[in-house]
Protein backbone atom coordinates (compact mmCIF):
# COMPACT_ATOMS: atom_id res chain seq x y z
CA UNK A 1 0.00 0.00 0.00
CA UNK A 2 1.21 3.50 -0.71
CA UNK A 3 2.68 5.12 2.42
CA UNK A 4 0.73 8.29 1.70
CA UNK A 5 -2.60 6.50 2.27
CA UNK A 6 -1.74 4.02 5.02
CA UNK A 7 -2.91 6.35 7.79
CA UNK A 8 -6.26 6.96 6.12
CA UNK A 9 -6.84 3.27 5.41
CA UNK A 10 -5.81 2.37 8.96
CA UNK A 11 -8.24 4.94 10.35
CA UNK A 12 -11.11 3.59 8.26
CA UNK A 13 -10.35 0.00 9.21
CA UNK A 14 -10.22 0.86 12.91
CA UNK A 15 -13.50 2.74 12.65
CA UNK A 16 -15.20 -0.11 10.83
CA UNK A 17 -13.91 -2.80 13.18
CA UNK A 18 -15.22 -0.92 16.19
CA UNK A 19 -18.78 -1.51 14.96
CA UNK A 20 -19.81 -4.76 16.57
CA UNK A 21 -23.50 -5.07 15.90
CA UNK A 22 -24.99 -6.58 12.78
CA UNK A 23 -27.16 -3.52 12.15
CA UNK A 24 -24.09 -1.27 11.97
CA UNK A 25 -22.37 -3.63 9.54
CA UNK A 26 -25.58 -3.67 7.53
CA UNK A 27 -25.44 0.13 7.35
CA UNK A 28 -21.79 0.04 6.26
CA UNK A 29 -22.64 -2.47 3.53
CA UNK A 30 -25.52 -0.35 2.20
CA UNK A 31 -23.46 2.85 2.21
CA UNK A 32 -20.65 1.19 0.26
CA UNK A 33 -23.13 -0.43 -2.13
CA UNK A 34 -24.78 2.96 -2.71
CA UNK A 35 -21.44 4.57 -3.47
CA UNK A 36 -20.68 1.80 -5.96
CA UNK A 37 -24.02 2.33 -7.71
CA UNK A 38 -23.38 6.09 -7.95
CA UNK A 39 -19.93 5.39 -9.42
CA UNK A 40 -21.40 2.96 -11.96
CA UNK A 41 -24.07 5.47 -13.01
CA UNK A 42 -21.47 8.22 -13.47
CA UNK A 43 -19.28 5.86 -15.50
CA UNK A 44 -22.17 4.72 -17.70
CA UNK A 45 -23.26 8.32 -18.27
CA UNK A 46 -19.91 9.89 -19.12
CA UNK A 47 -17.61 7.07 -20.31
CA UNK A 48 -16.77 6.71 -23.99
CA UNK A 49 -14.74 4.20 -25.96
CA UNK A 50 -12.94 6.91 -27.91
CA UNK A 51 -9.26 7.40 -27.03
CA UNK A 52 -8.58 10.65 -25.21
CA UNK A 53 -6.06 13.17 -26.55
CA UNK A 54 -3.76 12.65 -23.56
CA UNK A 55 -3.67 8.88 -24.20
CA UNK A 56 -2.47 8.97 -27.82
CA UNK A 57 1.13 8.68 -28.88
CA UNK A 58 2.38 11.57 -30.98
CA UNK A 59 5.35 10.42 -33.08
CA UNK A 60 6.55 13.98 -33.78
CA UNK A 61 6.49 14.83 -30.10
CA UNK A 62 8.58 11.73 -29.27
CA UNK A 63 11.33 12.88 -31.65
CA UNK A 64 11.34 16.34 -30.07
CA UNK A 65 11.59 14.85 -26.58
CA UNK A 66 14.51 12.65 -27.66
CA UNK A 67 16.30 15.70 -29.06
CA UNK A 68 15.63 17.57 -25.81
CA UNK A 69 17.07 14.66 -23.82
CA UNK A 70 20.38 14.89 -25.66
CA UNK A 71 21.03 18.17 -23.84
CA UNK A 72 20.50 16.61 -20.40
CA UNK A 73 23.51 14.99 -18.72
CA UNK A 74 23.43 11.18 -18.61
CA UNK A 75 23.10 11.10 -14.81
CA UNK A 76 19.81 13.02 -14.92
CA UNK A 77 18.08 10.91 -17.59
CA UNK A 78 15.30 8.58 -16.47
> Is 61 strand, coil or helix?
helix
Q: Among the ranges 6-15, 26-35, 54-63, which has the highest mean pLDDT value?
A: 26-35
- Give CA angle at 18 (16, 24), nearest 5°: 65
The gap between the terminal CA atoms of the chain, to the nearest Å, is 24
Band the pLDDT of 73: cuts 50, 70, 90: low
Question: In this predicted model, what pLDDT tens digit does every residue of 28-60 receive, in sequence order?
Answer: 889 999 999 999 999 999 988 887 777 777 766
Domain-wise residue ranges, the chain = 22-76
3-class DSSP string for 2-29: CHHHHHHHHHHHHHHHCCCCHHHHHHHH
Amino acid sequence: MAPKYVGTAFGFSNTLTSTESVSKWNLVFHVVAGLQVVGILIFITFATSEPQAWATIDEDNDEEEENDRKDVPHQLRA
